[in-house]
A = this chain, B = another copy of it.
Amino acid sequence: MSFNQNRRTFIRNTSLVTLSLSLPIEKIQALAAPSTDKVRVGMIGVGLRGQEHVRLMAAREDVTIIAMADPDKTMMATAQNIIAKAGKNKAVEFTNGNHDYKNLLARNDIDAVIIATPWEWHIPQAIDAMSAGKIPGVEVCGAIHLQDCWDVVNKSEQTKIPVMMLENVCYRRDVMAVLNMVRKGMFGELLHLQGGYEHDLRGVKFNDGITPYNSGVEFGAKGYSEAKWRTQHSVDRNGELYPTHGLGPVATMIDINRGNRLTKLSSIATKSRGLHRYIVNHPKGGANHPNAKVQFKLGDIVTTQIQTANGETIVLTHDTSSPRPYNLGFRVQGTNGIWQDTHAGEFNAGMIYFEDKSKPHTWENTEKYMKEHDHPLWKKYEQQAEGAGHGGMDWFVDNAFIECIKRKAPFPLDVYDLATWYAITPLSEKSIAEGGSLQTIPDFTKGQWKNRKPIFCVGQEEY
């Protein structure tokens, strides 16, 4: 696809989608059989996260990595090595500062870009990509300003270029098994959902400036990898800074933006202790280390209550500055059953209960149900996904991005999902700043949610 073909294709595709709202999903899928063999991809951001996308894209026969942009030449070299190891051609490099990605976007041999940059760049770069006729796949985070969410939606609507929200946890194997059980009606009517980002990131937010993890107490200019930019958000902001891993999976289960929508939230935050304590207690830190003077604004644990149009409630927890085992804290509860996730996605590590199946008032281990209701997509692509990042789920989200482009099919996680999920961050910051006040979550679909049908893992066999 050239740039112009690409735009025409998506104009056609968009009108097809609009037309097909009244058609059953199967019809849409039939119409959307693959018509493009090869997707020409540009990578924007090839740091440690971006390199996983490079690895996945380089391994695919239906993708050519044309170019990559990143101001960090060391990261760029590593990314080129990944491509070389996969036996693919070297990508064109754009490493001339933060804005050189615009030259990548100006090329006419790129169909789509994957954006895996520091948070503040996601939406500006997605918008620039659409302006240049490229389809952006955008990594997770929260918005910096609420207006950013409107801007990305408006740009997509104006250009008719779709955007994919690359939320990998929607494809976590246990999460998809639970989605499968939800779709089969095993939980009854859903009522209450929880999720979060409960991950001790202290050893990521700080390092020694040379190696990325658990190596020191530096950040910002003296830090390396994520510590270079991510930690500053903990200095400047107090809110649900990373909502999508917790929210995305449960949003797909209750059809957010597709028959349902998020309406209101309020957030509260604990005092901020963990990051300062980490610096002071670290062998390379101490009370006299300059970073011991830094005031961190981010509360150690941020809780957000969300209401929906269809009467479910959601609780999100952001917990990244305290010592704790990793757990996204999922809970899916309906009129007939409840699942609680306690670990990191292992099939046998949660608790589950169904009124019509379990011994009364007694938790069951999840393993039996997870195996029995393993999602067809995982069964089919288990081997391809093996070795991909985050237990294989990264393969699925990148696969969906490429397969949809090839088929000219709507993305299962789209620009409205991106805007809605990203919006949690600035709204939660405002809520906390106002003492926990109630905030209205905008309807980025402008009423379309009432007629849009669920498409995440509905009917498709390929993504």
Contact = CB atoms under 8 A, between A and B. Distances in A.
Given A271-B311, A312-B271, A436-B438, A325 B301 contact: no
A292 interface: no
Contact of A301 (B273, B333, B362): B333
A337 B273 CA distance: 13
A326 interface: yes
Given A192-B301, A311-B271, A438-B437, A333 B324 contact: yes
A215 interface: no
A442 to B, nearest CB: 16
Which 10 A-B residue pairings sit nearest by Cβ, starting from the closest? A271-B311, A323-B355, A192-B301, A191-B270, A325-B363, A270-B313, A324-B338, A266-B266, A268-B313, A273-B335
Contacts of A399: none
A200 interface: yes
Interface string A181-221: 00000001101100000001000000000000000000000
A315 interface: yes
A264 interface: yes
A271 B189 CA distance: 10
Given A312-B270, A323-B336, A301 B438 contact: no
A438 B306 CA distance: 14
A340 interface: yes
B270 A435 contact: no
A342 interface: yes
A274 B188 CA distance: 10
Contacts of A270: 191-192, 311-313
Interface string A374-411: 00000000000000000000000000000000000000
A325 B271 contact: no
A75 interface: no
Given A266-B438, A271-B311, A353 B325 contact: yes
A323 B191 contact: no
A299 to B, nearest CB: 8
Contacts of A310: 271
Given A271-B312, A307-B436, 7 more contacts: A191-B301, A192-B301, A269-B313, A300-B335, A305-B305, A340-B342, A435-B438
A268 B305 contact: yes
Contact of A342 (B268, B303, B334, B351): B351
Contacts of A269: 313
A49 interface: no
A349 B311 CA distance: 32
15 contacts: A192-B270, A192-B301, A192-B319, A200-B361, A264-B436, A268-B306, A301-B313, A303-B305, A303-B313, A305-B436, A315-B315, A323-B337, A325-B363, A342-B351, A343-B363
A270 to B, nearest CB: 4
Contacts of A271: 191, 310-312
A232 interface: no
A322 interface: yes
A300 B191 contact: yes
A182 to B, nearest CB: 15
A237 interface: no
Interface in A286-326: 299-301, 303, 305-307, 310-313, 315, 319, 322-326
A300 to B, nearest CB: 5
A315 B342 contact: no
A277 interface: yes
Nearest to A274: B335
Interface string A424-436: 0000000000011
Contacts of A322: 191, 333-335, 338
**Among the interface residues A200, A300, A336, which one has the most CB atoms of the partner chain B within 10 A?**
A300
A322 B361 CA distance: 11
Contacts of A192: 270, 300-301, 303, 319
Nearest to A364: B325
A345 to B, nearest CB: 14
